[in-house]
Each structure stands twice: as C-alpha cells, then as structure tokens.
Amino acid sequence: MKLNLKIWRQAGPEDRGRLVAYRVDDADEDMSFLELLDVLNERLALDGEEPVAFDHDCREGICGACSMVINGEPHGPQKATTTCQLHLRHFRDGESITIEPFRAAAFPVVRDLVVDRGSLDRIVASGGYISAPTGSAPEAHATPVPKANADRAFTAAACIGCGACVAACPNGSASLFLGAKITHLGELPQGQPERSDRVVRMVETHDTEGFGGCTNTGECAVACPKEIPLDVISQLNRDYRKATTGGRRSA
C-alpha cells in the first residue's frame, strides 16, 4: 500500500520544527506503524538524510516508550493500542497520515518525535512508592488483601507511563497517571501508612513540573492504551482533599 506521511521534524529543543511530507510506496498492511517508520528511515539513511528519531523499545505494548500523535490522536485511532501495536491494516491505501510528538508543557521535545518525559519519573520519586527497604518485609501472607482491592489495585497499576493521557489533555494534565499510582497503592493495606503524605507530595511535584489541572474532559481515559478508568482521578481528588483538610498530614 501507498501512504502519504507528514512527520514532525525538529533538530533540537531550540529548533522551531515543522511538518515534512514523505511518501512510502512499499508499505504492507501487516506492518506495524513503527515498522513503517523503519522502512522510511532505512531509505532516508541510504539517501544521506537523517532518519526520523522516535522512542520505541519493547514493541509489544508494555514498556511505554513509543509516543506519537497520529492524525491528532495519541497512539493513533485504535482503541487500547499503543503505537507499536497499531498495524497498517487500519489505514486505507493512499491515506495521508500526520505524525507528531506527544506535546505538553511538561514534555519538552528532544528531537523529531522524541520528548523528555522525565517529569513523570519525578512525580513517582516524590512519593509513588511504599517504603519497604530490602530485607524488612514480613511474611507475604501476614496481611491478606481482599481480592476486590487487589484487582482494583492491579487495574490501576497497569499504567505503562507512556504519557498519552498528558498528550490528550487540553490542559496537559497528568492526573490520570497520578491517580493511577495513588489508586494502586491506596487500595492496598501496605500503602496506608504513607497515603496522606504520598498524595500531597505527588500533587505538589505534578504542579511544579508544569502539568496542568484537571477539568474533567476525560480525553485522557479515551487515549489511555491500558484503559485506566477515569475514576482514578476521583480517588486522587478524594485522597488529596482528605490529606489536606483533615489535618492528617504530619509535615
């Protein structure tokens, strides 16, 4: 199949960047979207042009590295699918496809389609964990966890940290990402001792990193390739309110 691509090219953070048109005539409907870029990049390299830089690694939808906006949608048109698992059979022969990086104030562009998502790591570093130094753990069965809580924790923990929620949000908010971690750890008995501090610190980091506020548009949950439910944001808000108004925070 033949495809007309318009790809965001930007040499570095200081460059203004622009969309550049490319045509690929030897695409195949069994190709993944990233394989389409591989084919283009091989050709560009042989022509002495610089290939399109893009983040990718596992190519099986779990590492969260791939991060492109395809025809206006983070990870493209297919529901619950990362870019690496999107196949060309979902596009028409001759179709035009626009490919841009995940854009947000907290995700500066590094080069072409590559952005810096270190801000998400810093949110986790500020409290997205349970403090359990190696060797200090009690027997695993010492604390039973009701199955319903364990299942809800898992559903939230399935987040792959790709940042599609941020790219989809008109405010550039990471509330779905943040809410997923708050819900995962908050559902478990092991997560209770640090629950109040965690939410306060993580929200603070979220805001100082330049992510916007949540206005309940819900675009994040639509874009999420792991279908993290929107109600993790309600959980985030409940925990935050409790932590900041109940006088429970020690610091």
Q: Which is closer to other proteins, CB of 16 or CB of 170?
A: 16
The residue from 14, 25, 144, 170 that contacts other proteins (CB under 8 A) is 144
Q: Judging by beta carbons within 10 Å of its beta carbon (0-12, 13-18, 19+), is residue 99 exposed, middle or buried?
A: buried
Q: Which is closer to other proteins, CB of 141 or CB of 215?
A: 141
Closest CA to 85 of 64, 102, 101: 64
Pairing of strands 73-74, 109-111: unpaired
Neighbouring residues of 51: CB distance < 8 A, sequence distance ≥ 6:
40, 41, 42, 44, 45
Looking at residues 210 to 249 of the shown chain, list those that interact with other proteins (rule: CB under 8 A): none
Closest CA to 239 of 178, 189, 190: 178
Looking at residues 45 to 64 of the shown chain, list those that interact with other proteins (rule: CB under 8 A): 45-46, 48-51, 53, 55-64
Quote the least distance from Cβ 215 to other proteins, whole Å: 27
Looking at residues 173 to 202 of the shown chain, list those that interact with other proteins (rule: CB under 8 A): 184-185, 188, 190-191
Half-sphere exposure of 165 (CA within 13 A, CB side): 32
The residue from 6, 38, 71, 222 that contacts other proteins (CB under 8 A) is 38
The residue from 16, 25, 94, 140 that contacts other proteins (CB under 8 A) is 140
Q: Which is closer to other proteins, CB of 32 or CB of 196?
A: 32
Quote the least distance from Cβ 217 to other proteins, whole Å: 26
Q: Which helix (H) or strand (E) holds 98?
A: strand 96-101
Quote the least distance from Cβ 6 to other proteins, whole Å: 21
Quote the least distance from Cβ 29 to other proteins, whole Å: 8
Q: Are the C-beta atoms of residues 139 and 207 closer than 8 Å to each other? A: no
Joined tokens for residue 210: 């330049």
The residue from 1, 157, 221, 222 that contacts other proteins (CB under 8 A) is 157
Q: Which is closer to other proteins, CB of 188 or CB of 221?
A: 188
The residue from 133, 170, 246, 247 that contacts other proteins (CB under 8 A) is 133
Collapse the DSSP code of 214 into the 3-class scheme (helix H, G, I; strand E, B; otherwise coil) and give the result.
coil
Q: Total number of residues binding other proteins (CB under 8 A)?
A: 78
Neighbouring residues of 68: CB distance < 8 A, sequence distance ≥ 6:
33, 54, 74, 75, 76, 83, 99, 100, 101, 102, 113
Looking at residues 76 to 115 of the shown chain, list those that interact with other proteins (rule: CB under 8 A): 78, 81, 85, 87, 89, 110-111, 114
